[in-house]
Structure 1
Protein backbone atom coordinates (compact mmCIF):
# COMPACT_ATOMS: atom_id res chain seq x y z
CA UNK A 1 0.00 0.00 0.00
CA UNK A 2 1.35 3.31 -1.00
CA UNK A 3 0.63 6.58 0.74
CA UNK A 4 -1.53 9.13 -1.00
CA UNK A 5 0.48 11.40 -3.20
CA UNK A 6 0.63 15.05 -2.10
CA UNK A 7 -2.25 17.11 -3.42
CA UNK A 8 -1.52 20.38 -5.23
CA UNK A 9 -2.37 23.44 -3.19
CA UNK A 10 -5.26 25.48 -4.45
CA UNK A 11 -4.58 28.92 -5.86
CA UNK A 12 -5.35 31.88 -3.59
CA UNK A 13 -8.01 33.16 -5.97
CA UNK A 14 -9.88 29.92 -5.72
CA UNK A 15 -10.49 30.30 -2.00
CA UNK A 16 -14.10 31.03 -1.14
CA UNK A 17 -15.00 34.59 -0.23
CA UNK A 18 -15.73 35.19 3.40
CA UNK A 19 -17.96 37.90 4.79
CA UNK A 20 -15.33 38.74 7.39
CA UNK A 21 -12.86 40.01 4.80
CA UNK A 22 -14.45 42.65 2.52
CA UNK A 23 -11.05 43.38 0.98
CA UNK A 24 -11.45 40.19 -1.03
CA UNK A 25 -14.55 41.56 -2.73
CA UNK A 26 -12.82 44.43 -4.53
CA UNK A 27 -9.47 44.65 -6.15
CA UNK A 28 -9.13 48.37 -5.25
CA UNK A 29 -9.79 50.44 -2.19
CA UNK A 30 -13.21 50.25 -0.65
CA UNK A 31 -15.31 53.27 -1.61
CA UNK A 32 -18.33 54.51 0.27
CA UNK A 33 -21.41 56.17 -1.21
CA UNK A 34 -21.46 59.92 -0.60
CA UNK A 35 -24.60 61.30 1.00
CA UNK A 36 -26.18 64.00 -1.12
CA UNK A 37 -29.26 66.17 -0.80
CA UNK A 38 -32.45 64.86 -2.33
CA UNK A 39 -32.35 65.80 -6.05
CA UNK A 40 -35.92 67.07 -6.38
CA UNK A 41 -35.93 68.98 -3.11
CA UNK A 42 -32.46 70.44 -3.80
CA UNK A 43 -33.60 71.67 -7.21
CA UNK A 44 -36.71 73.28 -5.73
CA UNK A 45 -34.64 74.87 -2.94
CA UNK A 46 -32.12 76.09 -5.52
CA UNK A 47 -34.77 77.72 -7.71
CA UNK A 48 -36.37 79.35 -4.67
CA UNK A 49 -32.89 80.43 -3.57
CA UNK A 50 -32.30 82.15 -6.91
CA UNK A 51 -35.63 83.95 -6.62
CA UNK A 52 -34.66 85.04 -3.10
CA UNK A 53 -31.31 86.34 -4.43
CA UNK A 54 -33.21 88.42 -6.99
CA UNK A 55 -35.49 89.80 -4.25
CA UNK A 56 -32.47 90.75 -2.10
CA UNK A 57 -30.80 92.46 -5.04
CA UNK A 58 -34.04 94.26 -5.93
CA UNK A 59 -34.41 95.55 -2.36
CA UNK A 60 -30.80 96.73 -2.26
CA UNK A 61 -31.00 98.33 -5.70
CA UNK A 62 -34.26 100.07 -4.81
CA UNK A 63 -32.62 101.73 -1.82
CA UNK A 64 -29.76 102.89 -4.07
CA UNK A 65 -32.36 104.48 -6.38
CA UNK A 66 -34.08 106.15 -3.42
CA UNK A 67 -30.70 107.42 -2.24
CA UNK A 68 -29.79 108.84 -5.66
CA UNK A 69 -33.14 110.65 -5.89
CA UNK A 70 -32.73 112.15 -2.43
CA UNK A 71 -35.81 110.40 -1.06
CA UNK A 72 -34.05 108.94 1.99
CA UNK A 73 -32.69 112.13 3.53
CA UNK A 74 -29.09 111.24 2.76
CA UNK A 75 -26.96 108.25 3.58
CA UNK A 76 -28.43 107.25 6.92
CA UNK A 77 -27.51 104.16 8.90
CA UNK A 78 -30.71 102.43 7.86
CA UNK A 79 -30.06 103.00 4.16
CA UNK A 80 -26.46 101.83 4.51
CA UNK A 81 -27.56 98.66 6.31
CA UNK A 82 -30.23 98.03 3.68
CA UNK A 83 -27.87 98.48 0.73
CA UNK A 84 -24.87 96.62 2.12
CA UNK A 85 -26.96 93.97 3.86
CA UNK A 86 -28.96 93.32 0.71
CA UNK A 87 -25.88 93.09 -1.51
CA UNK A 88 -23.85 90.92 0.88
CA UNK A 89 -26.89 88.78 1.64
CA UNK A 90 -27.58 88.27 -2.06
CA UNK A 91 -23.96 87.24 -2.66
CA UNK A 92 -23.91 84.79 0.25
CA UNK A 93 -27.24 83.30 -0.83
CA UNK A 94 -25.98 82.94 -4.39
CA UNK A 95 -22.98 80.89 -3.22
CA UNK A 96 -25.14 78.70 -0.97
CA UNK A 97 -27.64 78.26 -3.81
CA UNK A 98 -24.84 77.06 -6.09
CA UNK A 99 -23.84 74.40 -3.56
CA UNK A 100 -27.50 73.47 -3.18
CA UNK A 101 -27.80 72.86 -6.92
CA UNK A 102 -24.70 70.64 -6.58
CA UNK A 103 -26.65 68.70 -3.91
CA UNK A 104 -24.03 69.28 -1.21
CA UNK A 105 -25.41 68.77 2.28
CA UNK A 106 -23.44 71.66 3.89
CA UNK A 107 -24.60 74.02 1.13
CA UNK A 108 -28.21 73.07 1.68
CA UNK A 109 -27.98 73.69 5.43
CA UNK A 110 -26.13 76.96 4.86
CA UNK A 111 -28.94 78.09 2.55
CA UNK A 112 -31.43 77.10 5.24
CA UNK A 113 -29.54 79.02 7.93
CA UNK A 114 -29.15 82.19 5.87
CA UNK A 115 -32.81 82.24 4.82
CA UNK A 116 -34.09 81.50 8.32
CA UNK A 117 -31.81 84.20 9.75
CA UNK A 118 -33.07 86.75 7.22
CA UNK A 119 -36.71 85.95 7.91
CA UNK A 120 -36.23 86.27 11.67
CA UNK A 121 -34.04 89.36 11.34
CA UNK A 122 -36.50 91.13 9.06
CA UNK A 123 -39.58 90.39 11.14
CA UNK A 124 -38.26 90.43 14.72
CA UNK A 125 -34.81 92.03 14.91
CA UNK A 126 -35.34 94.99 12.56
CA UNK A 127 -38.08 96.53 14.73
CA UNK A 128 -35.77 96.32 17.74
CA UNK A 129 -32.86 97.77 15.80
CA UNK A 130 -34.77 100.73 14.32
CA UNK A 131 -37.12 101.38 17.24
CA UNK A 132 -40.43 100.65 15.51
CA UNK A 133 -43.20 98.36 16.66
CA UNK A 134 -43.46 94.85 15.26
CA UNK A 135 -46.93 95.72 13.97
CA UNK A 136 -45.55 98.65 11.97
CA UNK A 137 -42.75 96.45 10.62
CA UNK A 138 -45.19 93.74 9.54
CA UNK A 139 -47.51 96.35 8.01
CA UNK A 140 -44.57 97.74 6.01
CA UNK A 141 -43.38 94.26 4.96
CA UNK A 142 -46.71 92.77 4.01
CA UNK A 143 -48.72 95.91 3.22
CA UNK A 144 -47.12 96.08 -0.24
CA UNK A 145 -47.55 99.86 -0.39
CA UNK A 146 -44.12 101.15 -1.42
CA UNK A 147 -41.75 99.47 -3.83
CA UNK A 148 -39.04 98.85 -1.23
CA UNK A 149 -41.68 97.38 1.11
CA UNK A 150 -42.79 95.07 -1.68
CA UNK A 151 -39.19 94.00 -2.30
CA UNK A 152 -38.52 93.39 1.40
CA UNK A 153 -41.83 91.55 1.83
CA UNK A 154 -41.19 89.32 -1.18
CA UNK A 155 -37.63 88.65 0.05
CA UNK A 156 -39.03 87.61 3.43
CA UNK A 157 -41.70 85.37 1.90
CA UNK A 158 -39.23 83.68 -0.44
CA UNK A 159 -36.70 83.33 2.39
CA UNK A 160 -39.23 81.38 4.42
CA UNK A 161 -40.14 79.18 1.43
CA UNK A 162 -36.47 78.61 0.59
CA UNK A 163 -35.64 77.71 4.19
CA UNK A 164 -38.44 75.13 4.24
CA UNK A 165 -37.35 73.61 0.92
CA UNK A 166 -33.70 73.56 2.01
CA UNK A 167 -34.61 71.80 5.27
CA UNK A 168 -36.48 69.15 3.30
CA UNK A 169 -33.56 68.78 0.87
CA UNK A 170 -31.06 68.38 3.70
CA UNK A 171 -33.24 66.07 5.76
CA UNK A 172 -34.20 63.68 2.95
CA UNK A 173 -30.86 62.43 1.74
CA UNK A 174 -29.98 60.17 -1.13
CA UNK A 175 -26.73 58.37 -1.75
CA UNK A 176 -24.72 58.54 -4.91
CA UNK A 177 -22.98 55.35 -5.94
CA UNK A 178 -19.18 55.61 -5.78
CA UNK A 179 -17.25 55.86 -9.00
Structure 2
Protein backbone atom coordinates (compact mmCIF):
# COMPACT_ATOMS: atom_id res chain seq x y z
CA UNK A 1 0.00 0.00 0.00
CA UNK A 2 1.35 3.39 -1.05
CA UNK A 3 0.77 6.59 0.92
CA UNK A 4 -1.32 9.23 -0.80
CA UNK A 5 0.22 12.39 -2.24
CA UNK A 6 0.76 15.19 0.29
CA UNK A 7 -2.18 17.50 0.72
CA UNK A 8 -1.72 21.30 0.69
CA UNK A 9 -1.33 22.53 4.27
CA UNK A 10 0.91 24.72 6.34
CA UNK A 11 4.54 23.84 5.74
CA UNK A 12 6.27 21.75 8.36
CA UNK A 13 9.72 22.46 9.72
CA UNK A 14 12.31 21.92 7.02
CA UNK A 15 9.86 22.03 4.13
CA UNK A 16 9.84 24.91 1.68
CA UNK A 17 6.82 27.20 1.96
CA UNK A 18 3.92 26.83 -0.40
CA UNK A 19 3.95 29.03 -3.43
CA UNK A 20 2.00 32.18 -2.62
CA UNK A 21 1.33 31.05 0.95
CA UNK A 22 2.64 32.34 4.25
CA UNK A 23 6.27 31.83 5.19
CA UNK A 24 7.02 29.46 8.07
CA UNK A 25 7.68 30.94 11.49
CA UNK A 26 10.92 32.86 11.44
CA UNK A 27 11.19 32.06 7.76
CA UNK A 28 11.78 35.56 6.51
CA UNK A 29 9.86 38.63 5.58
CA UNK A 30 6.16 38.32 5.00
CA UNK A 31 5.03 39.28 1.52
CA UNK A 32 2.23 41.39 3.05
CA UNK A 33 4.41 43.60 5.26
CA UNK A 34 6.32 46.43 3.64
CA UNK A 35 9.97 46.76 4.65
CA UNK A 36 10.74 49.38 7.30
CA UNK A 37 12.58 52.48 6.10
CA UNK A 38 15.97 52.91 7.72
CA UNK A 39 18.44 55.77 8.00
CA UNK A 40 21.12 55.97 5.34
CA UNK A 41 23.87 53.53 6.28
CA UNK A 42 26.94 55.61 5.47
CA UNK A 43 25.62 58.83 6.96
CA UNK A 44 24.41 56.98 10.07
CA UNK A 45 27.84 55.49 10.73
CA UNK A 46 29.53 58.86 10.21
CA UNK A 47 27.02 60.64 12.46
CA UNK A 48 27.30 57.98 15.16
CA UNK A 49 31.10 58.04 15.13
CA UNK A 50 31.20 61.84 15.27
CA UNK A 51 28.68 61.83 18.12
CA UNK A 52 30.82 59.45 20.15
CA UNK A 53 33.81 61.68 19.46
CA UNK A 54 31.86 64.73 20.67
CA UNK A 55 30.81 62.78 23.78
CA UNK A 56 34.47 62.02 24.44
CA UNK A 57 35.32 65.71 24.07
CA UNK A 58 32.60 66.59 26.59
CA UNK A 59 34.11 64.10 29.04
CA UNK A 60 37.56 65.62 28.41
CA UNK A 61 36.14 69.09 29.11
CA UNK A 62 34.48 67.88 32.33
CA UNK A 63 37.58 66.06 33.56
CA UNK A 64 39.75 69.09 32.89
CA UNK A 65 37.41 71.12 35.05
CA UNK A 66 37.51 68.48 37.80
CA UNK A 67 41.30 68.43 37.95
CA UNK A 68 42.52 71.89 37.01
CA UNK A 69 39.71 74.32 37.76
CA UNK A 70 39.72 74.32 41.54
CA UNK A 71 39.61 77.72 43.15
CA UNK A 72 42.30 79.10 45.48
CA UNK A 73 40.51 77.67 48.50
CA UNK A 74 40.16 74.22 46.91
CA UNK A 75 36.42 74.58 46.22
CA UNK A 76 34.60 74.58 42.93
CA UNK A 77 32.96 77.71 41.65
CA UNK A 78 29.47 77.67 40.16
CA UNK A 79 30.86 77.72 36.63
CA UNK A 80 33.04 74.69 37.30
CA UNK A 81 30.11 72.74 38.75
CA UNK A 82 27.99 73.52 35.69
CA UNK A 83 30.88 72.56 33.38
CA UNK A 84 31.49 69.24 35.12
CA UNK A 85 27.85 68.21 35.51
CA UNK A 86 26.84 69.54 32.10
CA UNK A 87 29.77 67.85 30.38
CA UNK A 88 29.12 64.45 31.91
CA UNK A 89 25.34 64.55 31.45
CA UNK A 90 25.76 65.88 27.90
CA UNK A 91 28.14 63.06 27.04
CA UNK A 92 25.77 60.45 28.42
CA UNK A 93 22.77 61.91 26.64
CA UNK A 94 24.70 62.06 23.38
CA UNK A 95 25.76 58.41 23.54
CA UNK A 96 22.17 57.11 23.50
CA UNK A 97 21.01 58.60 20.17
CA UNK A 98 24.46 57.80 18.75
CA UNK A 99 23.74 54.13 19.40
CA UNK A 100 20.31 54.38 17.80
CA UNK A 101 21.85 56.16 14.84
CA UNK A 102 24.39 53.34 14.45
CA UNK A 103 21.38 51.00 14.40
CA UNK A 104 20.04 53.10 11.50
CA UNK A 105 16.91 54.28 13.30
CA UNK A 106 15.50 57.42 11.71
CA UNK A 107 14.23 58.76 15.03
CA UNK A 108 17.69 58.27 16.54
CA UNK A 109 19.29 60.24 13.72
CA UNK A 110 16.86 63.16 14.11
CA UNK A 111 17.26 63.11 17.90
CA UNK A 112 21.02 63.23 17.46
CA UNK A 113 20.68 66.15 15.05
CA UNK A 114 18.47 68.07 17.48
CA UNK A 115 20.70 67.33 20.47
CA UNK A 116 23.91 68.41 18.72
CA UNK A 117 22.21 71.58 17.48
CA UNK A 118 21.02 72.28 21.02
CA UNK A 119 24.53 71.84 22.42
CA UNK A 120 26.05 74.21 19.86
CA UNK A 121 23.41 76.83 20.55
CA UNK A 122 23.85 76.36 24.31
CA UNK A 123 27.56 77.07 24.11
CA UNK A 124 27.03 80.36 22.31
CA UNK A 125 23.73 81.55 23.81
CA UNK A 126 23.04 79.96 27.18
CA UNK A 127 26.51 80.32 28.66
CA UNK A 128 26.75 84.08 28.02
CA UNK A 129 23.19 84.61 29.29
CA UNK A 130 23.70 82.45 32.37
CA UNK A 131 27.01 83.92 33.53
CA UNK A 132 26.88 87.39 32.01
CA UNK A 133 29.86 86.75 29.75
CA UNK A 134 30.06 88.93 26.65
CA UNK A 135 29.43 86.96 23.47
CA UNK A 136 32.75 88.07 21.98
CA UNK A 137 34.60 86.68 25.01
CA UNK A 138 32.69 83.41 24.73
CA UNK A 139 33.55 83.11 21.03
CA UNK A 140 37.21 83.85 21.81
CA UNK A 141 37.16 81.11 24.46
CA UNK A 142 35.51 78.55 22.20
CA UNK A 143 37.62 79.18 19.12
CA UNK A 144 40.76 80.38 20.89
CA UNK A 145 41.99 76.85 21.67
CA UNK A 146 43.91 78.33 24.63
CA UNK A 147 44.14 75.51 27.16
CA UNK A 148 42.98 71.92 27.13
CA UNK A 149 39.41 72.88 28.00
CA UNK A 150 39.39 75.45 25.18
CA UNK A 151 40.59 72.80 22.73
CA UNK A 152 37.97 70.33 23.97
CA UNK A 153 35.03 72.72 23.72
CA UNK A 154 36.21 74.18 20.40
CA UNK A 155 36.49 70.75 18.81
CA UNK A 156 33.18 69.71 20.39
CA UNK A 157 31.43 72.69 18.78
CA UNK A 158 32.98 72.09 15.36
CA UNK A 159 32.31 68.35 15.43
CA UNK A 160 28.85 68.98 16.90
CA UNK A 161 27.91 71.00 13.82
CA UNK A 162 29.26 68.26 11.55
CA UNK A 163 27.41 65.62 13.57
CA UNK A 164 24.13 67.53 13.31
CA UNK A 165 24.54 67.84 9.54
CA UNK A 166 25.43 64.18 9.01
CA UNK A 167 22.61 63.04 11.33
CA UNK A 168 20.15 65.16 9.34
CA UNK A 169 21.41 63.54 6.15
CA UNK A 170 21.11 60.08 7.73
CA UNK A 171 17.54 60.78 8.83
CA UNK A 172 16.35 62.30 5.59
CA UNK A 173 18.04 60.06 3.01
CA UNK A 174 16.27 56.80 3.70
CA UNK A 175 17.07 53.34 2.51
CA UNK A 176 14.76 50.36 2.73
CA UNK A 177 15.92 47.49 4.93
CA UNK A 178 15.80 44.13 3.27
CA UNK A 179 15.12 45.47 -0.21
CA UNK A 180 17.32 42.75 -1.67
CA UNK A 181 15.52 39.89 0.10
CA UNK A 182 12.09 40.23 -1.51
CA UNK A 183 11.35 38.20 -4.64
Q: What is the TM-score of this pair, normalised by structure 2?
A: 0.78
Name the residue aligned to 1:17: none
* Alpha carbons of structure 1 residues 72 and 44: separation in structure 2 relative to 1, 3 Å: farther
Aligned to 1:128: 129
1:94-125 CA-to-partner distances (Å, cap 9, x unmatched) read 11111110001111111111100000000122
In structure 2, list runs of 5 or more residues that go unmatched.
Answer: 1-18, 24-29
Aligned length: 156
For the 8 Å contact 1:66–1:72, the answer to whether it is kept is no
In 2, distance between residues paired with 1:120 and 1:82? 15
Q: What TM-score results when the alignment is normalised by the length of structure 1?
A: 0.80
Residue 63 (str. 1) matches residue 58 (str. 2):
no
* Gapped regions of structure 1 (runs ≥ 5): 1-23
Give runs of aligned pairs for residues 22-171 of structure 1, distance below 5 A: 26-27=21-22, 30-67=32-69, 70=71, 74-171=75-172
Aligned Cα RMSD in Å?
2.1
Q: Going by fraction, where is helix more abundant, 1 or 2?
A: 1
SS in 2 for 1:36: strand
Contact map agreement 2:142 2:150 (CA 8 A) in 1: yes
Closer/same/farther in 2, CA of residues 55 and 33 from structure 1, 3 Å limit? same
Deviation for aligned residue 1:25: 5.3
Q: Deviations over 1:17-47 (max 9, x none)?
A: xxxxxxx955366212101100011011111
Task: Please identify runs of 4+ aligned residues in structure 1 that moved more than 6 A.
Answer: none
